[in-house]
Amino acid sequence: MLQGTLTSHSAGTPLIRLGAARRSTFSHKGRRGRLRAPARRAGAPPIPKPTFLEIARRAGVGTATVERVLNGRGGVRPQTVEKVVAAARSLDYPRRLPEAHRGVIRIEVILVRPDATFFARLSRAFERIAATLDRSIAVHRTFLDEANPAAIARRILEPEMRRAALILAAPDHPLVSAALAKLEAENIPTVQIVTQISGTGSTYVGIDNYAAGRMAGLLLARMQRRPGKVVAICHSQIYRVHRDRVRGFFDYLIEQGRDFEPIAALFGFDDGDRNAEQLHDALKRWPDLAGLYNAGGANTALNEVLRKHGRARDIFFVGHELTERSARGLREGTMDVVLDQAPEAQARRAIDLMLAALNLHDLPVENPPIRFITFTAENL
């Protein structure tokens, strides 16, 4: 197996276990051991040493670059050095690598809102996914302020450490988009997780958010027996993930929900007090409110409003992310359905894609949308 260490931008924590891609090929030599090939049978021919050409093909560079790196001649960009070294390791190149190039390969994960239940859960997922990373690979988690896109853009382009790859979940802002597009042009492996940023082309890992919104609309249209008006609430327009969900929700109701009238998309900024205020106003303004879809966070505040208002059984409420508090809402009947987007699966997929992009394994990593999970009070 491979093993390694995860550190945080704010504090160091032990890390990670990533796909068992090599379990059929390699055995592990103790908790701090290195990869070793299975023992060969007596009399078996020796395994040939990989050639510079094979390493070059794996790294996507020329043989002259491989020769310069492995012979320690210098004059090669650090990112290219890391690609060559990773390719050599993955092919079990037997020579000792030059001392200057045997450092840590760093993958940075940029997230927002450490106070939010979902992002805290996603961060923990990176921490405990599985411990098959080599000690020469480190994952650094960095939390940045979602309200400061300039700082996010700056961090994308100017990391505090030498970085081999980037995973990020960030607002869809022109500054962030421009910075990420520039990083992509430099061929730095990049994965967007949870939400996407306009004008960029890096790999996206996450659920199909438009489909999740349509599922919320379908469940409301099929399960709510009382017709009436329907509202959606989300953070704001800064996250594509929320825009896609609300669009899917309203599209389905317009197409199929003849007894329901989509009336408004409300912005609560995933803040409990603001969400509660928005729902209070909606209940006063539309007495025939029949449905509520929360495409973002702060479900607890919405559940409390419905519980105190006495209309929990009248309004069909669909939200996202299964937590202890949303599970309580399901059990008590203030909430009807929770769509969970499985952040643990998203973190695993993102890391597996990065290992492949860095030539740390040569197995294909498929990347269909992560499947979201539908919860009601009956399958908690």
Amino acid residing at 362 = D
Instruction: State the pLDDT at residue 4.
Output: 38
Residue 92: inside a domain:
yes
Instruction: State the pLDDT at residue 25.
Output: 30
The verdict on 128 and 215 lying in the same domain is: no
Residue 168: inside a domain:
yes
Structure tokens at 7: 């550190």
Q: Classify residue 248 by burial, with Cβ atoms within 10 Å: 0-12, 13-18, 19+.
A: buried
The verdict on 331 and 242 lying in the same domain is: yes
Instruction: State the pLDDT at residue 19.
Output: 36
Strand partners, 229: 261, 289
Overall pTM > 0.85: no
Residue 366: inside a domain:
no
Instruction: State the pLDDT at residue 206.
Output: 98
The verdict on 235 and 300 lying in the same domain is: yes
Residue 353: inside a domain:
no
Sequence-separated (6 or more) residues with CB below 8 Å from residue 220 = 230, 253, 257, 260, 291, 293, 316, 318
Q: Return the CATH number at 105.
A: 3.40.50.2300
Instruction: State the pLDDT at residue 203.
Output: 96
Cβ proximity of 171 and 149 under 8 Å: yes
Tell which phi-psi region holds residue 113, choosing left (phi > 0), alpha (psi between -120 and 50) or beta.
left
The verdict on 104 and 224 lying in the same domain is: no
Amino acid residing at 73 = R
- The length of the chain is 380
Q: Classify residue 50 by burial, with Cβ atoms within 10 Å: 0-12, 13-18, 19+.
A: middle
Instruction: State the pLDDT at residue 10.
Output: 40
Instruction: State the pLDDT at residue 18.
Output: 35
Strand partners, 339: 320, 374
Distance CA 87, CA 84 (A): 5
Residue 372: inside a domain:
no
Domain that holds residue 197: 1-36+50-205
The verdict on 200 and 331 lying in the same domain is: no
Q: Find, among 227, 212, 216, 377, the residue nearest to 315 by Cα.
A: 227
Instruction: State the pLDDT at residue 5.
Output: 37
Instruction: State the pLDDT at residue 41.
Output: 54
DSSP class per residue in 224-275: --S-EEEEEEES-SS-HHHHHHHHHHHHHHHHH-TTEEEEEEEE-TT-HHHH
The verdict on 98 and 69 lying in the same domain is: yes
Instruction: State the pLDDT at residue 87.
Output: 79
Distance CA 175, CA 148 (A): 10
Distance CA 380, CA 371 (A): 17
Place of tokens 């239940």: 117
Q: List the Cα angle 163/84/6 in 5-degree steps.
A: 35
Residue 352: inside a domain:
no
Phi, psi of 276 (to 5 degrees): -60, -45
The verdict on 297 and 330 lying in the same domain is: yes
Measured CA to CA in angstroms, residue 45 lies from 38, 133, 173, 359 at distances of 14, 30, 58, 27
Domains in the chain: how many in total?
A: 2
Instruction: State the pLDDT at residue 17.
Output: 33
Which stretches of the chain score pLDDT less than 50?
Answer: 1-40, 99-101, 130
Instruction: State the pLDDT at residue 89.
Output: 73
Q: Find, among 37, 39, 35, the residue nearest to 1 by Cα.
A: 35
Distance, first Cα to last Cα, the chain? 34
